[in-house]
Amino acid sequence: MIEALVGSEGAERTLLFIEARDSGYAREISETFGISLSAIQKHLYRMEAGGLLISQQIGKTRVFSFNPRFPFLVETRSLLRAVLTQLPDQTKENLLMNRRRPRRTGKPL
């Protein structure tokens, strides 16, 4: 939907993922959307260089989130929230399902 504004579908999906979950790392985003890892990494590093995203190292993983000092952060996030509401239900469910805690051994799905 906002592909024309951000440059590509991969960049759009990367921003939507981070908006939906507040943070994310490259492999997680690439597996969610089926986009190559290198393409997602390029989008993330470009957005970090532009000041839109910040990253921090957690163990061996670089986790990206929105930069609170970005001048147009409120407007950007409100646009992304509006796009999230227009997505198909299946896509929204995939984005918003955020299982990060470990599961008990033998617990049924």
Domain edges within the chain: 3-88
| Each residue's pLDDT tens digit, 31-85 | 988 999 999 999 999 999 999 999 999 999 999 999 999 999 999 999 999 988 8
Q: What is the pLDDT of residues 14-29, one digit of tens each?
A: 999 999 999 999 999 9
Top CATH class of 3-88 equals mainly alpha
pLDDT at 4: 62
Q: What burial letters (b/e) apply to 48-78, b meaning 16+ CB within 10 Å?
A: eeeebbbbeeeeeeebbebbeebeeeeebee
**Is pLDDT of 1 > 70?**
no
Of 101 and 47, the structure prediction assigns the larger pLDDT to 47
pLDDT in tens, 49-59: 999 999 999 99
| Closest residue by Cα to residue 25 from 80, 69, 77, 65 | 65
